[in-house]
Structure 1
Amino acid sequence: MKIVQYNVLDGCRTDERYAMLFNWLKERDYDIAGFNEMNDWTEAEFQREMEKLGMPYTVLYRMESSRFSIGIASKWPIENIYMTDEAPFHHGLLHVKIQEIHFLVTHLSPFESTIREKEATEIADYIQSIHEPLMLMGDLNTLSPLDQDYYKNSGSKEKMLQRKFSKRQHIIDGEINYQPMQTLLDAGLHDIGKGESLDYSLPTKIKGELQDPIYVRIDYMLANQAMLKLNPSSTVIRDDQGNRISDHYPVQGQFEDE
């Protein structure tokens, strides 16, 4: 089974980016696709475009609290379990079931990490009652303690301290706050994309060549213990098309069908 999770930057609403996204997805023939920032998409449009890609089953969660819709498409029927945009969620949580596997798609707050601490705690509590295979995926906007050696050795913290938004987003008391991700790991989720080097998902080159960028991994696929039996793995896909489609690179995952 091959899946993708993609933050598509404001819904890819230019003709050029829209076409590039469609062609990119078509070339790879995914079985399941999760999306963040499906701004201004309708359920009908999502259904129509995903059906062209061989994924005729779709759920698009258009929240009242946020323009940044989240969605999932599949080659197989989708059982819609739960969706919420109530506090503390900034861009909502979508829970579906496909082929006896639970998929949670979310997009955590891009602002203070203390907000993401609350979102992560809510997710951690929510998944405790789920003992079947489960995957949480999305733009989690948080840094992982599993990557802290890279951030330390690359001077990432020092760069963040000098940049107003990055400082607001990731720094608490002068240090990178890894607690949101740590909460999810402590809840029994496993980071299936951790590699020997930083598999960064941001930034791309959508705004041109990069000037002293801060490379971060903030897009993830996390699996529970039951999901590990299917040997899941994930990697960030960085290519020329990805540099022009969105400000995030997509995460591609695979696992064995039961």
Structure 2
Amino acid sequence: QSPYYWIGITKTHLSKTWTWVGNNSTWIGTRSWARNEPNNNRSNEFCVEIYVKSGPDRGKWNDEKCARKKFPVCFKAQCNASSCERGRCVETINHSACLCEPGFIGNRCQTAKECPPLSPPENGYLKCSEGSSKFNTTCQFKCHPGFLLTGSSAVTCSPSGVWSALRPVCATVKCPPLSQPDNGNLSCSDEGLIFNSTCRFKCSPGFLMTGSFAVTCGATGIWSGPRPICASYKQALLAVAGCGSLSLLCCICFCWMRHRKRKKRVQERQTEDLTNPTNEISG
């Protein structure tokens, strides 16, 4: 009996990958090689033999020239198309194993890894693409009106079973502080100036308000209008008079321009009548 047998692993070139002949599996591993093997010692050693009677290397592999005559070792291929659902089947003698894709586990890579369940942030909600916490699931976070998202708006379940980011927080929206108008005061429904808070303005006696008497804090943290002005009666009258004078001036200018255009059209018509010959009337 020969101490050396072919085991059905080969490659076509030095730079190529070792391949099992039975099922074209390219995973070979390193633990089965004998010491200092494969070494391509005689060049073009593109087949693999197994030592049967070689002391400490018994049962180990060695690369050898394919032209050498040796007995083959035949065994049933263990890997097939259905061996691994989400992974690669690796072949060894009378045994196989699945190398799972990232995010999958199980002896056939049939189970997707799961991340810890997520709960919606306070004053907010979430929606997940797969309706679960499995690998590759993406969850979107949103806040209710009047609350601002602080943190990542979306997280994804990673291959390691950990979410890609921490759960965000929905913080209360606040509008910037308001100052009371000169010659007036203000009062607000909420000292925190949060969403939907309303601030009302009031002018001191002898002053008139110009602008809105109340503003509301919006969902984006912006007041619904500018701060009003408290003007004295004299200032208010001058403003009204100024507006009246301006309106009168605009009216005068409009009428003058219209009169000029009309006068110009009359002059053009008269000139045209003088330059055109008069038609003779025959009896």
Regarding TM over 0.5, the answer is no
Higher RCO (CA-CA < 8 Å; seq separation 6+): 1
Tell which structure's C-alpha radius of gyration is larger. 2
TM superposition score normalised by structure 2: 0.17
Output the TM-score relative to the length of structure 1.
0.19
